[in-house]
Amino acid sequence: MTERIDQTKTTERSLPNAELFRPVVAPENKLWLIDAHCHLDDDAYDEKREDVLSALENEGVEAVVNPGCDETSSLKALALANQYDRVFACIGTHPHEASSYTFEWEAHMRTLAGEKKVVAIGEIGLDYHYDFSPRDTQRNVFERQLALAKELDLPVVIHSREACEDTLAILKNFGSSIRALMHSFNEDPKIWEELADFGYSLSLGGMVTFKNARWPKELAKCVAADRLLIETDGPYLAPVPYRGRLNLPWYAARTLETIAELRQESLPMLAKQIRQNTIAFFALPFGASTADSAYCSTKSKIGGASSAIRRGETF
Ligand SMILES: [Zn+2]
């Protein structure tokens, strides 16, 4: 949740022509996209949520992970997940809502974590761009939820905006004791290098298609293939050429195409690898054959095997 959507541009009534978003080289598997981060519970989807959810399969979307932003949205995400097979929920308090965090909600999260469709704690983190909650509250709530995720053995989805130093300082205290996904990451690849050493993953969204998005494009080129996920971050950040519109899970295809171009890799193979990464990160109940995942070279990419080699580890 990084950009307030222009509500005047979200009123389109019909779903766009999906053919426009299909890649030139179609992967052999019809269900090939997993959107690792889409706020389907957001009010922006109210008028077309049912249409979007019932169109997922036709548009090649195997699953959507719906993060929570506070107690209400986490419960809404879980209700959607319980209603639709292809939706999975994260529960957590976004830095914007940190002021609303209570011990009661924390206790409730502990119970909800046992639900079958809850796959992570998120999205949590720090946002010093908007500062909707005081920074010390944001840090405290971020740390409490990281500790909770560690205790519950659930992965975490992290939002960090203009708070890179503090995010890194807090994450260093947890290191590889947690499994983290840096969502909609827009920082210098040097920062990513430190996080990759903890074994974390990274998801890229529509920003990678924006002309002036320097860091997402750099990251798309250097992240190890086995650490990369894709997302829409809907309703925000729709990829070019749909920037400013309501973002839909299958727009992730456009993001994926751009990443494949930047990496100069085969789109179907990259899609397959990213699908496997997403299934593994969230432990989604889909078949994940790893037989052909070795196609993607991790040489000179940050994270994965290459970082392990740099650190002298055996794996
Ligand atoms: Zn988000």
Residues 94-109 have pLDDT tens digits of 999 999 999 999 999 9
pLDDT value of residue 287: 76
Q: Are 93 and 105 in contact (CB under 8 A)?
A: yes
pLDDT value of residue 31: 72
pLDDT value of residue 303: 60
Cα of 308 vs centre of ligand 1, distance in Å, is: 30
Cα of 51 vs centre of ligand 1, distance in Å, is: 21
Cα of 248 vs centre of ligand 1, distance in Å, is: 13
Cα of 180 vs centre of ligand 1, distance in Å, is: 14
Residues 70-83: tens digit of each pLDDT? 999 999 999 999 99
The mean per-residue pLDDT over the stretch 186-192 comes to 93
Cα of 39 vs centre of ligand 1, distance in Å, is: 6
pLDDT value of residue 28: 57
Percent of the chain with pLDDT over 70: 82
Cα of 310 vs centre of ligand 1, distance in Å, is: 32
Query: pLDDT: is 11 or 230 the higher one?
Result: 230
pLDDT value of residue 92: 98
Domain 30-310 has CATH 3.20.20.140: yes
pLDDT value of residue 29: 58
Cα of 315 vs centre of ligand 1, distance in Å, is: 33
Cα of 294 vs centre of ligand 1, distance in Å, is: 31
Cα of 292 vs centre of ligand 1, distance in Å, is: 31
Cα of 37 vs centre of ligand 1, distance in Å, is: 6
Cα of 73 vs centre of ligand 1, distance in Å, is: 11
The mean per-residue pLDDT over the stretch 277-302 comes to 63
Percent of the chain with pLDDT over 90: 76
The mean per-residue pLDDT over the stretch 135-144 comes to 98
Query: pLDDT: is 294 or 241 the higher one?
Result: 241
pLDDT value of residue 27: 52
The mean per-residue pLDDT over the stretch 215-227 comes to 96
pLDDT of 291 strictly over 80: no
Cα of 285 vs centre of ligand 1, distance in Å, is: 23
Confidence of residue 115 (pLDDT cuts 50, 70, 90): very high
pLDDT of 116 strictly over 70: yes
Residues 245-289: tens digit of each pLDDT? 999 999 999 999 999 999 999 998 999 999 999 999 999 998 755
Cα of 115 vs centre of ligand 1, distance in Å, is: 21
pLDDT of 205 strictly over 90: yes
pLDDT value of residue 130: 94
